[in-house]
Amino acid sequence: MKTKKKIALIFGITGQDGSYLSEFLLNKNYIVHGVIRRSSSFNTSRINHLYQDPHTKSRKFILHYGDITDAISVSSLIKKIQPQEIYNLAAQSHVAVSFEVPEYTANVDAIGALRILEAIRFHKLEKKTKFYQAGTSEMFGKVVETPQNEKTPFYPRSPYGVAKVYAHWVTINYREAYNLFACNGILFNHESERRGGTFVTKKIVSALCRIKVGKKKKLYLGNLYSKRDWGSAKDFVEAMWKMLQKKKPDDYVIATGKQFTVKQFVNFVLKRLKMNFKWRGKGLNEKCYHKGKSIVEIDKAYFRPLEVNTLLGDSSKAKRQLNWKIKTNIHQLIDEMVNKEMAHLRDD
């Protein structure tokens, strides 16, 4: 007897995580629906390899126009698709940018989650549809303990972090008030070759590879001393799915449990590229030299009005209850990112 395929709906399917989660779910034989925003230029480069022409029979990968700031579009898509699982990955996800567009960030990142939860309830899908909310270590902000776990109080330090705290609590609120199967993932930084170019890891890898092959002279960075717990996006999307397969909904920290400074990340990439280097100077005058020339300098434009200085996650609950494992360490992650970047440069 044929078992019916599960249907998932992903908000934020064109993003880094959306693309990896789509691949993961398709491998598990799901039918994957995704919401894309209309854009004046194509914004689907991360999922083009999954695209299926609308004329294909029995499509497994189906895209819909919509926007999480448009309650009616959210509601009618959920009604039409009636998914078993909804993953809310849609966000204005750049912390520094959230200081420039705080109201927009709140609309997308905070109220966006509420719109989905309300639609599930309005269409009486509480018993059918499970919900995943993409929470973040940025909610811990000015950390009150180290490492951070599910019980660590939040102290967000950006409009992005504040908006995500709202989404976190409204998810719990709907779980408790309406018995919805709703989970919060509290994910620490996770990266990949598909990471947006303005996040620090991708920016560093991209610039240093270009400097290595003579296509760029200098990389400008902000705070070299903030510490992050960097994992791999591919490993982390698996945890999202695992949360929705449990008997009971709950919230989980997903992290590697290891932290490094931005400067250490630069050093790792330089070593991987076999580039000799030496740091000299202090504060805004700190520079990294290679073959007598400075290749990394500080630009205070990249400092934020408030910084999250240190993040380190304790994901023992996820390891214990979800049987989730970290497969990729920081050096393997850098290897993957550098290899992809160098391949791009060779194709150029």
Could you tell which of ligand F7E, ligand NAP, none binds residue 198, using a CB distance below 5 to 8 A set by kind?
ligand F7E
Please give the full DSSP string across 237-299, using - where no structure is assigned.
HHHHHHHHHSSS--EEEE--S--EEHHHHHHHHHHHTT---EEE--GGG-EEEETTEEEEEE-
Residue 23 touches ligand NAP, criterion: CB under 6 A = no
DSSP 41: S
Residue 161 touches ligand NAP, criterion: CB under 6 A = no
Closer Cβ to ligand NAP, 134 or 322, answer by number: 134
Active site residue 174: no
Tell me if residue 60 falls in helix, strand or coil: coil
Among 20, 87, 132, 160, the active-site one is 160
Distance, in Å, from the CA atom of 197 to the CA atom of 205, rounded to the nearest integer, reads: 10
| CA 234 to chain centroid | 10
Question: Binding string to ligand NAP for residues 82 to 121, with x set by CB under 6 A, is what?
Answer: -------xxxxx--------------x-------------
Active site residue 286: no
Residue 304 touches ligand F7E, criterion: CB under 6 A = yes
Distance, in Å, from the CA atom of 326 to the CA atom of 343, rounded to the nearest integer, reads: 26
Cα-Cα-Cα-Cα torsion 123, 126, 129, 131, nearest 10 degrees, comes to 110
**Of 12-20, 148-156, 174-182, 215-223: span binding ligand NAP (CB under 6 A):** 12-20
Closer Cβ to ligand NAP, 69 or 329, answer by number: 69
Binder to ligand F7E among 19, 22, 137, 256 (CB under 6 A)? 137
Distance, in Å, from the CA atom of 191 to the CA atom of 143, rounded to the nearest integer, reads: 22
Please give the full DSSP string across 101-155, using - where no structure is assigned.
SHHHHHIIIIIHHHHHHHHHHHTT-TTT-EEEEEEEGGGT-S-SSSSB-TTSPP-
Which two three-digit tokens encode residue 72? 């009616």
Least Å distance, CB 70 to ligand F7E, is 22
Least Å distance, CB 303 to ligand F7E, is 7
Q: Looking at this protein, which amino acid is placed at residue 179?
A: N
**Of 117-125, 186-194, 298-306, 323-331: span binding ligand NAP (CB under 6 A):** 186-194
Least Å distance, CB 235 to ligand NAP, is 12
Task: Please choose, from the candidates 115, 35, 85, the residue with its C-alpha nearest in 3D space to the C-alpha of residue 237.
Answer: 85
Distance, in Å, from the CA atom of 283 to the CA atom of 132, rounded to the nearest integer, reads: 41
- Active site amino acids: 136, 138, 160
Interface contacts to ligand NAP, rule CB under 6 A: 11-18, 35, 37, 39, 43, 67-69, 89-93, 108, 134, 136, 187, 189-190, 196
Interface contacts to ligand F7E, rule CB under 6 A: 93, 95-96, 136-138, 188-189, 198-200, 203, 221-223, 226, 228, 262, 302, 304, 307
